Amino acid sequence: MKPIPKALAGLLLAACAAMGASAQEGPQRLQAIALNAGMHNIRAEVAATEEQRQKGLMFRKEMAAHEGMLFVFEQSAQRCFWMKNTLLPLSIAFLADDGTVVSIADMQPQQLDSHCSSQPVRYALEMNQGWFAKRGIKPGFKLSGAPFSNAPR
């Protein structure tokens, strides 16, 4: 096997560097919005692209009690999540277009079990495990915030 010429090696290195952000193993930090669950304020990072949704909260070692991640999809469908490379125990609320909680699941770190919505949804909100239960938030509860304000009534 011949060694790679230095010029070609440099080009390969530059191409790898250009892809770098998606290939790195580290937590992503995304733009955040304000959501409300009754009197409880939430700072939710928004995962709106396929790449952002795939990485989600992977590799996070800690998250403040009022923080979470809102997964936004283009259209309603049954949504399933798992916890590969996710270090924190999380609870996930699957949300209808108007912010109504459809179902909630607790998820354990680094597990490949699927946690799916009970019906088609466009949104899912991940928070530290137990966040919804501690606040009495159950299916039927309605969250408020910009993503849900344009939903048909």
Better-scored residue on pLDDT, 66 or 26: 66
For strands 90-95 and 115-116, give the pairing.
unpaired
Task: Specify the DSSP class assigned to residue 118.
Answer: S
Burial class (CB in 10 A: 0-12, 13-18, 19+), 55: buried
Structural domain spans, the chain: 27-148
**pTM here?**
0.83
Mean pLDDT over 8-30 rounds to 53
Judge whether residue 22 has pLDDT over 70.
no
CATH superfamily of 27-148: Protein of unknown function DUF192 (2.60.120.1140)
